[in-house]
Amino acid sequence: MWLYLAALLLGLLLLRRWHRERQTVPGLCEKHVLITGCDSGFGNLLARQLDARGLRVLAACLTQPGAERLRAAASPRLHTVLLDVTSSRSIAAAAAWVRERVGDRGLWGLVNNAGVSVPTGPNEWLTKDDFTKVLNVNLLGLIEVTLSLLPLVRRARGRVVNVSSVMGRVSFFGGGYCISKFGVEAFSDSLRREMRPFGVRVSIIEPGGFQTGLIDPAAVAKGFRDAWEQLPADIQAAYGHHYLDTYAKRSVLLQRLSSRRLSRATGAMAHALLARCPRSRYLPGWDARLVLLPLSYCPAWLLDAILSFFLPSPAQAMPSCP
């Protein structure tokens, strides 16, 4: 008896959630949304999708050719601006440009999508500058863009959508990428709680593996080999050429197994912007939901054992503890 009542209650709760999440905010044609990283990948596709729905899209691109291609593929409503999220001067100029266009209405949506994933590789192979290159874009740039535009978002009682990664839950490889995504998670969590009293909703997108076109598998493998050539002889001897070759091949394989359906991720971003009741977190991608999310809840010893299975064995590997 109690089991049936619990199942009925759960069903009603899920039905209520489904109904609430299907409702969208009114007045889409009057809302401005700024998206960073629109040259290609998620940002480019999301900009075109929101433009098709009648929103006033402000697309921030890193390069002039990327901006021109996007304008050619969209309606006259879409406007572009050049933005380098690693440059405070560029961010200040873009923020002033946004203020001129949104006026007293404020900025309904900010999508922090710009990001990079390389340099990456075993941590010991990398330098501080390798970490800094990624952190400046994925984390520090995201924070500065958000702080520059937050008053406009607060005025509109709008939305902030930060593109993290499921790697912000599970550090699958070395380098600055996973570190930066862990940072995005922490920043977004604190911002969500601070902005809720103002009516601003903050959502995190945690995609799994997607082929966004930003990563060339051949370039990744070449990057590993270039880093290898810069290593001291003792470190090369500790890992061995077999480690290098296997690590590069497995990294390329993971990239090729990634999904090509970018709309799964951009659909989550659009829902976070336009739904009356957006979620705090979205996990687009089968690998994010079925593999990496469950792994993130495993005990450390079990998680280490599973992920270590995918790493090659170094030439000078020591036996494990008895």
Catalytic positions, please? 177
Angstrom distance (rounded) from CA 183 to CA 165: 11
Asked if 275 contacts 21 with a C-beta cutoff of 8 angstroms, the reply is yes
Would you say the C-alpha torsion 262, 191, 296, 290 has a positive or negative sign? negative
Asked if 149 contacts 94 with a C-beta cutoff of 8 angstroms, the reply is no
Within 8 A by CB and 6+ apart from 193, the residues are none
* Closest to 123 measured CA to CA, from 188, 183, 175: 175
Angstrom distance (rounded) from CA 81 to CA 59: 6
* DSSP letters spanning 217-268: HHHHHHHHHHHHHTS-HHHHHHH-HHHHHHHHHHHHHHHHTSB--THHHHHH
